[in-house]
Amino acid sequence: MKFSLTHEQLSIQDAVQDVVKGTLGERGLHEIYDGDREKEAQLWRELGALGVLGAAIPEEHGGLGLGLLDLALISEVLGYTCAPGPFLGHVLSALAIELGGDDKQRAEWLPKLASGEAIAAIALAETDGHWLPEQWTLSGKDKLSGVKNHVVCADQAALFVVGLAGGGFGLVDAKAPGVLIEALEGIDRTRPVFRVSFDNAPLSILPKGAAAAPRVIDAGLALIAADGFGGGRSCVERASEYAKQREQFGQAIANFQGLRHQLANMALDVEPCRGLYWFAAHAWDKEDDGARHAAALAKAHITDRCLQVARDHIEAHGGIGFTWEYDAHIWMKRAMFNFAWLGGVREHRARAADLAAW
């Protein structure tokens, strides 16, 4: 038994953290929140140079040939640092092409996605919270019409991977005629969302898309869980640091047992989530029978607990935590995205209960 990380995995995490922190600096996230996206683009180039965008893409197509666990470990760091950009939709698109595409599609797209030279976005959500393969209704053979919502970083995408009726995927070139992209006023400005409308746009079906889709969804659930855990870990650390510095009644507020116990409860919510997301990703890599259940449970549990902790993080700061100028709201809004994207906590708990066959 070795349910722990290798030195290589830990050094990838360190390298990603250094790149994100180095690129964003002190005020990078605030610049992004105020509309200047230059550092987001710079970060994408840096992550591409590091090779992590292709972490799970096979080596023959220019990736590192690693697994979902490695992608999830990277996601944890991105959540920890609130790293902005298209990573989530991009790596899920690459998985869809790798698992569902034919040789030609894989050879055409995977090398460009591995380097980050082309950005892909995944278009899943339809109206009424329909995120899952059995709920998709858009259809077409070689032309596609219809609307998808909450597509992350669609404005930067060269390629859309679109969920189709029957639970498969198709590819649409973002520059093709008949593709309209509209920004939504997203809650999380580190991962802006768009409505993408297709009007007779040229479509290329992924032949094994229907087999790939459940795996891609499960991978997405595990990656969001990992991002959520990273964010929660950051909130616990930040709230603890603040408590050590902030003084009231002539001493650091960390001395007050009421706050100490709140901070301990936050840590108690977050820390046990680490193994839960590890297992969800590991079970996916092993194609374990319990992988679907683990992914649903991890997403529901972790995004639920870590959103609460993101709120507690603000509360532990008092008034300063409620300001736009301070960082705390950026983490909470990231946690709100994690809670809702790919379906909310209630949906995935219901799925987990069904998958447990109670």
Partner 1 sequence: MDISFGPEQDAFREEVRAFLNENWKAKVEGESRPDRAKRERRLRELAVERGYLYRGVPKAYGGSEQPADALRGEIIREEFARVRAPYENAAGGATQLLGTLLEWGNEEQKLKFVKPTLYGDIAWCQGYSEPNAGSDLASLRTKAELVGDEWVINGQKIWTSGAFKADYIFLLVRTEPGAPKHQGISYLLVDMKQPGITIRPLKQLTGASEFCEVFFDNAKAPADRLVGERGRGWVVSRTTLKHERASMRGLNYQEARFRDLVRLAKETTRDGKPAIEDPAVRQRIAALEGFIAAMRYSAYRQFSMEASGEEPGSFSLMRKLYSSNIAAEMAAIARDLLGDDFLLSPGEAEGKSRLKWAHTYLTSLILAIAGGSSNIQRNIIAERGLGLPRDRIEP
Where along the sequence are the contacts to partner 1 (CB under 8 A)? Answer: 1-5, 69, 236, 240, 243-244, 252, 254-255, 257, 260-261, 263-265, 267-268, 271-276, 278-279, 282, 294, 297-298, 300-301, 304-305, 346, 349-350, 352-353, 356, 358
**Beta carbon nearer to partner 1, 113 or 263:** 263
**Beta carbon nearer to partner 1, 325 or 357:** 357
User: 142 by DSSP, 3-state: which?
Assistant: coil
**Terminal Cα-to-Cα distance of the chain (whole angstroms):** 29
**Beta carbon nearer to partner 1, 92 or 239:** 239
**Beta carbon nearer to partner 1, 21 or 274:** 274
Minimum CB distance to partner 1, residue 350 (Å):
6
**Beta carbon nearer to partner 1, 7 or 175:** 7
**Beta carbon nearer to partner 1, 66 or 162:** 66
**Beta carbon nearer to partner 1, 1 or 175:** 1
25: Cα separation from own chain's centroid: 22
Is the distance from CB of 198 to CB of 179 less than 8 angstroms?
yes
Closest CA to 336 of 312, 353, 301, 311: 311
Minimum CB distance to partner 1, residue 79 (Å):
17
Q: How many CB atoms lie within 10 A of CB 84?
A: 29
Amino acid identity, position 208: K
Minimum CB distance to partner 1, residue 17 (Å):
18
Minimum CB distance to partner 1, residue 47 (Å):
23
State how far the Cα of 160 lies from the Cα of 200, in Å rounded to an integer: 14
**Beta carbon nearer to partner 1, 212 or 263:** 263
Minimum CB distance to partner 1, residue 241 (Å):
9
Minimum CB distance to partner 1, residue 2 (Å):
5
Spell out the alpha helix ranges (H) of 188-272: 209-245, 257-270
User: 116 by DSSP, 3-state: which?
Assistant: coil
Minimum CB distance to partner 1, residue 238 (Å):
11
State how far the Cα of 296 lies from the Cα of 349, in Å rounded to an integer: 7
Q: CA–CA distance from 302 to each of 31, 151, 229 (Å)?
A: 28, 22, 6
Minimum CB distance to partner 1, residue 358 (Å):
5
Is the distance from CB of 201 to CB of 145 less than 8 angstroms?
yes
Is the distance from CB of 181 to CB of 194 less than 8 angstroms?
yes
State how far the Cα of 194 lies from the Cα of 187, in Å rounded to an integer: 12
State how far the Cα of 145 lies from the Cα of 63, in Å rounded to an integer: 33
